[in-house]
Amino acid sequence: MKCLDPAEMYSYLDEDLTDQKKADVENHLASCRKCRQSMEKKQRMLEALKNIPCYKTPKGFTNQIMSKIKPVRPSPSDWFKAGTAAVIFITAVSLLFFAFSKQGLADFAVNFFQSAINLSREALVTSIKFFKSMGVLIHISLQLIGLILKSIRSVTPVVSTEIQIFSVLFAILITLLVILSMKQKYILGDKR
């Protein structure tokens, strides 16, 4: 067997050889002093690598990172603390309110519920108005689509209605995709 090449030696040291190849290398090493010496040098170098001092973070590094992360998003425990503080604050203000106002607790409760009922009624009326206007909006949109289809049909009388509808849907899809990709690139900062 001819002498081992350096790549073979490193593969052997890396235990990156097949059993057969490994056995061949070991057989050769047993009989070739030159390769044995060369292998020993490489082994020493790799062994010495384990003694290279490592770069390490200083004490308190984790806390430093965590303190920079905390303002980004409050944790569940922060929400709990904020919630508790809010409840305490509202209770304290309510107590002060009743202590200094002439209004009794029962009167306050009646007024409060009346206001709540009025507010719900208002909300119901507003939502009905909203749905009505949504209906009008849908009606206008359908008429607009019809108009577009009519105009397309007048321009391209040969094309069937199905193809026209498909074309419009395809255009909408492309527009949505463009908007989504722009969002990915400019809003989320994707650099791919």
> Distance between CA 8 and CA 18 in Å, rounded?
11
Q: How far is CA 46 from the centre of its chain?
A: 41
Among positions 76, 102, 154, 157, the unique one binding other proteins when judged by CB under 8 A: 76
> Distance between CA 5 and CA 8 in Å, rounded?
5
Among positions 2, 34, 59, 68, the unique one binding other proteins when judged by CB under 8 A: 68
Q: Where are the beta strands (DSSP E) in 94-164?
A: none
Among positions 30, 52, 106, 155, the unique one binding other proteins when judged by CB under 8 A: 52
For helices 33-49 and 19-31, angle between their N-to-C axes, nearest 10 degrees:
120
In a 13 Å sphere around the CA of 112, the CA atoms on its Cβ side amount to 8
Asked whether position 46 contacts other proteins by CB under 8 A, the answer is yes
Asked whether position 98 contacts other proteins by CB under 8 A, the answer is no
Asked whether position 53 contacts other proteins by CB under 8 A, the answer is yes
Among positions 57, 100, 105, 155, the unique one binding other proteins when judged by CB under 8 A: 57
Binding to other proteins (CB under 8 A) within 100-159 occurs at: none
Binding site for other proteins (CB under 8 A): 6-7, 10, 16, 41-42, 44-58, 61-62, 64-66, 68-70, 72-73, 75-76
